[in-house]
Structure 1
Amino acid sequence: MASWKLTLPCTRAEAEAIDFETPALAEINPPPVLMTSERVEDDPDSWQLEAYFEGKPNSAALAAVAALVPSAAGTRLVAKRIAEQDWVTLSQAGIEPVHAGRFYVHTETNKGVVPAGAKPFRIDAGIAFGTGTHETTSGCLIALGEHRARGANVRNLLDLGTGTGLLAFAAMHLWPRAYATASDIDPRSIEVTAENAAINGVALGEGAGQLALAAAAGLEHPLLIGRAPYDLIIANILAGPLVELAPTVAMALAEGGTLLVAGLLEGQADIVAQAYRRQGLRLAGRIDRGHWPTLRLVKRRRHGADRVTRRSRGRGEAPGFGSW
């Protein structure tokens, strides 16, 4: 059977928010293979969605895909016939492995030779953001390695907006006895993280050396609240949510704790840093990968009744934890 491809413009935010479980897509038999990528490097408004179909898609199938990216409204929906291919395998083969600091990230098909001393993780390209190929993710991987090299002792960490789970896995490798938590606003990302944990031998659970998972907007979840404060929070999301979440994230971070933020463009770094400075964090370091900075912020130590103290390792309640 011949293959067909539909290409639509979109934004990075739309690409990350695509719901692959929407009933409209489930009605397409077989469902299309979807791929998102940058059309213009480092421009979050210039991404594209490619949908590959087995057999010529009808108008309903095209409309179902177009509905995933509202900014493409008005674009003519024309699928082009292409040579028959295994598009899943092709999508993996087009991705190069990434060596970032202490880590080496690859897919099922491109592992190659792991560099000496590097910890490999297999993260296949798919429906969640964070495969290691983008500068925001690789910048966080490097920042994590540098944090460990400085002698940081992390006992309780949170990967906020985990995507594929990669950054949580990397942090757990560096601090194997830490209590680790990963959350995402998209429940499907939590499913992907669980799948990737199994592939990479990462134990799930709520004990030391295990990864606890939660689908949550911001920190609005009993598990996330109950396990605070964290001495390391990683947040590779977008500048807007980072600014809006600043009071919540600062409250969840222990005094003297470290916050790594990414997902922002070069021109947004000062705005994000200022938002956290208002919450008592200071900018302690920065890594630039292309036009994508990763910021390291440290919460200043304070004294008195306003100090955040850990209640328990279980689920609890606390005021002031909101969503974006």
Structure 2
Amino acid sequence: MSDSWKITLPCTRAEAEAIDPEGEAFAEFGAPPVLMTRELTEDDVEDWVIEAYFQDKPGAREIAVLRRLVPSAAATKAAPERIIEADWVTLSQAGLDPVVAGRFYVHTSANRGKVPPGLRAFHIEAGLAFGTGHHETTTGCLLTLEAMRKRGAVVRNLVDVGTGTGLLAFAGMHLWPNARATASDIDPISIDVTRENAAANGVKLGVGPGQLTLAVAPGMAHDIIERRAPYDLVLANIIAAPLIDLAPVIAAAVAPGGTVVLAGLLERQASAVAQAYRRHGLRLAGKVTLGDWPTLRMVRRAIR
């Protein structure tokens, strides 16, 4: 891996939440950066920061696009900071304790620790794709899947839309080992990361039961994903705006009695997201909230 570059700008919570990785503004980047947003002062909606990681040193054009994403930082100096490879690895692993969510134990190479008996360990490095298990949205999805399995849910066909690292697809395959599984992401880097993570965690790639098929796709717009519908389980840990936009497509791909797990939204966005899926025949059957991040479980009525 070569050195990377970082630009840090202040922003507000509203600006951070409004960033759409599939929007027109983001598409202006020649090579889209990895964006991370976080609050600096707890419960202060004005004191947030955005960190943009670029593979190559960003020029004036990239900086201008980044500024347009966070207008409140218009007067702030944006100086690219070089991150040498060793520093990037240190940065990505620092402070990430193992995560325990139901029967799952998620760790990086720097923090494996001792895996508790009976838990399924997943080795997921922090880096260029979202979904290490350390964010409340991913943890909420893992807990939702665990609860479904305990209630006796049967899943024969699942798809993880916007898979990131592949973690949620891997978890679904562990809970339902004979299921046919598909994982997609609009970002080819995420699919490369998922492929590497599958090898690291003993997840088989392929097209048969108990195997994972990978696809680079915006949402569910891919021949493989469309042919494999309908699904018993759709996982979508993205953000609120695309979740709402994808509601008609996702809902149409859910089998009778099937489940959609939605995450990546804030508590104040939950009602709008749930309503978008209700319009297409699904009902809210469960909700797990961690901090300000809810995970919604929507289901389609079974045929009797």
- TM-score (structure 1 length as normaliser): 0.78
Contact 1:282 1:297 in 2 (8 A): yes
- Once the two structures are superposed, residues 169-228 of structure 1 have per-residue CA deviations (whole angstroms, 9 ceiling, x without a partner) of 000011111000011122221111111111111111111110001111121111001000
Amino acid at match of 2:244: V
Amino acid at match of 2:122: F
CA distance in 2, matches of 1:107, 1:238: 24
Q: Which residue of 2 aligns with 1:277?
A: 278
Q: Which residue of 2 aligns with 1:38?
A: 38
**1:78 deviation in Å?**
3.1
Contact 2:58 2:80 in 1 (8 A): no
Please point out which of 69, 72, 78 is paired with 1:71. 69
Contact 2:20 2:241 in 1 (8 A): no
CA distance in 1, matches of 2:251, 2:85: 51
Contact 2:98 2:106 in 1 (8 A): yes
- Once the two structures are superposed, residues 129-162 of structure 1 have per-residue CA deviations (whole angstroms, 9 ceiling, x without a partner) of 1111110000000000111001111100011111
Contact 1:93 1:110 in 2 (8 A): no
**1:44 deviation in Å?**
11
Instruction: Classify 1:157/1:37 alpha carbon distance in 2 versus 1 (closer, same or farther; 3 Å).
Output: same
CA distance in 2, matches of 1:24, 1:289: 29
**1:66 deviation in Å?**
2.9
Q: Which residue of 1 aligns with 2:243?
A: 242
Instruction: Classify 1:280/1:62 alpha carbon distance in 2 versus 1 (closer, same or farther; 3 Å).
Output: same
Q: Which residue of 2 aligns with 1:189?
A: 190
Instruction: Classify 1:238/1:251 alpha carbon distance in 2 versus 1 (closer, same or farther; 3 Å).
Output: same
For the residue of structure 2 that corresponds to 1:115, the secondary structure is: coil
Contact 1:15 1:49 in 2 (8 A): no
Q: Which residue of 2 aligns with 1:256?
A: 257
Report how many aligned residue pairs link the two structures: 287
Instruction: Classify 1:6/1:230 alpha carbon distance in 2 versus 1 (closer, same or farther; 3 Å).
Output: closer
CA distance in 2, matches of 1:162, 1:83: 27
CA distance in 2, matches of 1:52, 1:215: 21
Instruction: Classify 1:13/1:88 alpha carbon distance in 2 versus 1 (closer, same or farther; 3 Å).
Output: farther
Contact 1:95 1:110 in 2 (8 A): yes
The residue correspondences of 1:52-201 to structure 2 (distance < 5 A) are 61=58, 63=60, 66=63, 69=66, 70-72=68-70, 74=74, 75-78=76-79, 86-201=87-202
Contact 1:5 1:79 in 2 (8 A): yes
CA distance in 2, matches of 1:44, 1:140: 29
Which has the larger displacement, 181-190 or 90-99? 90-99
Percentage of matched positions with identical amino acids? 56
Instruction: Classify 1:278/1:44 alpha carbon distance in 2 versus 1 (closer, same or farther; 3 Å).
Output: farther
CA distance in 2, matches of 1:186, 1:24: 10
CA distance in 2, matches of 1:249, 1:91: 32
The structure having more radius of gyration, on CA atoms, is: 1
CA distance in 2, matches of 1:5, 1:68: 14
**1:62 deviation in Å?**
5.5
For the residue of structure 2 that corresponds to 1:282, the secondary structure is: strand
Contact 1:155 1:179 in 2 (8 A): yes
**1:288 deviation in Å?**
0.6
Q: Which ranges in structure 2 are unaligned for 5 or more consecutive residues?
A: none
Amino acid at match of 2:210: G
Instruction: Classify 1:256/1:67 alpha carbon distance in 2 versus 1 (closer, same or farther; 3 Å).
Output: same
**1:230 deviation in Å?**
0.4
Instruction: Classify 1:52/1:221 alpha carbon distance in 2 versus 1 (closer, same or farther; 3 Å).
Output: closer
Which has the larger displacement, 41-50 or 273-282? 41-50
Contact 1:108 1:124 in 2 (8 A): yes
Contact 1:284 1:297 in 2 (8 A): yes
- Once the two structures are superposed, residues 23-82 of structure 1 have per-residue CA deviations (whole angstroms, 9 ceiling, x without a partner) of 699xxxxxxxx77341356879944216599xxx9xx64647636734257331235799
Contact 1:16 1:129 in 2 (8 A): no
